[in-house]
Structure 1
Amino acid sequence: MKKYSFFLFILFSGSFIFGQEPIEWNSDFILQVEDYQSPESEINSELTFYSIYSGAKIDLSFNMNSVSFMFTKNFNDKVKAVFQKKLAVLIAPDSITAMQLVQFGRYDFDLVELYTRKIRKKIYEEKGAFSDSGLFQPIFNELQEEMNMVSAQVFKATDFGKDTELLQKEHDKVIDEINTLSDFCKACKPRKIRK
């Protein structure tokens, strides 16, 4: 029997380090300054700039034989939003700026979860009995690009999260959209599509 071994890692952060334990998105988990554990992270009053590198990404991985793949429709548990502490960088001149950056990081991690759910939904809608793993790449490419664009726009509009009111407004929109896609949480079973 032909066996599919398909591992695809879509990176929001641009790089991946094997062996570290990622934190999966959970509505109860709230990012803190201490979670930005890259060696480049620092809060130092001598700094004249500030920056954040999210550490959040979308991860898809599965290993199944061709028969299992053919009869699998729900890939919710195979697509995850994760945060990797060792990749997350926060650079700030003071604790106030650091907290503003963390607020943006929280928004960004929730945005990654939103797009993870959008990917799950699109896979669910488009996967047929005779689909192959080539179905996934265009879905990821399209939604990853859209997510990066949204993140960059909010990043710029809020000046790295310094406009806390606008950031909160954008964050609330993301949370509302996550709730709208409740059928596509990692442990959820989507309702059957009626034709």
Structure 2
Amino acid sequence: MRSFENGTSLAIKLSNWSQLGKFFTKRNLKPIRELIDGTIHCKPGAAEIFVQDIYTMLTNRRIKHIQDEEIDFTDRIYQDKLPMVARSTASRAIKSNIKLTEVMVEPNIQKNRQKVNAIINMHMQRRLLEREQDPGRFSIQKTLGERAIRRPSMMAPSISTTNIQREKSIPVPSIASTEIRGKMGVHFKTIQVKQAERCPFDVN
């Protein structure tokens, strides 16, 4: 115990956990690294689960879970218990779920950006769920498609185009036939048209 230092700074924490890492290696214990990092950075629920995991490894006994809900090392459970008006905004959610010590230990911009995007996605999903649960609070109106009355289709059975073609293709007797003209009593008279006489003098 003399090798451990009292303090809450990041350097002291890393030094103490390196001592614990040597102890775990001698005892052939393999705790989950995410639990260690969550405990170092004071993630919600990480320390409780870590103690439970170490107790199970040292005693080979199974104990009742401290928290029945799934832990993701965020303040999601705490936020769900708050009323909607008191829940965090997107910027506040980033500040609450990403500790400064995480950035100091892992200054990789790409990894930190992935963490920020994951927190924003979680925040947006919570907001969408809130809108679905209480649409009146957000003054959400139904779209025209949602307000439309759905009725069964009353379309008549389609008529085959072949039947229409057959009806249109009824043979019509030709009037040019002399036999049919005689039976129908149709007679044509030849009309003679006289052409106008040309002017004998030139207009120009």
Q: TM-score under structure 2 normalisation?
A: 0.25
Higher strand share: 1
Higher-Rg structure is 2
Question: Which one has the bigger helix percentage?
Answer: 2
TM-score (norm 1): 0.26
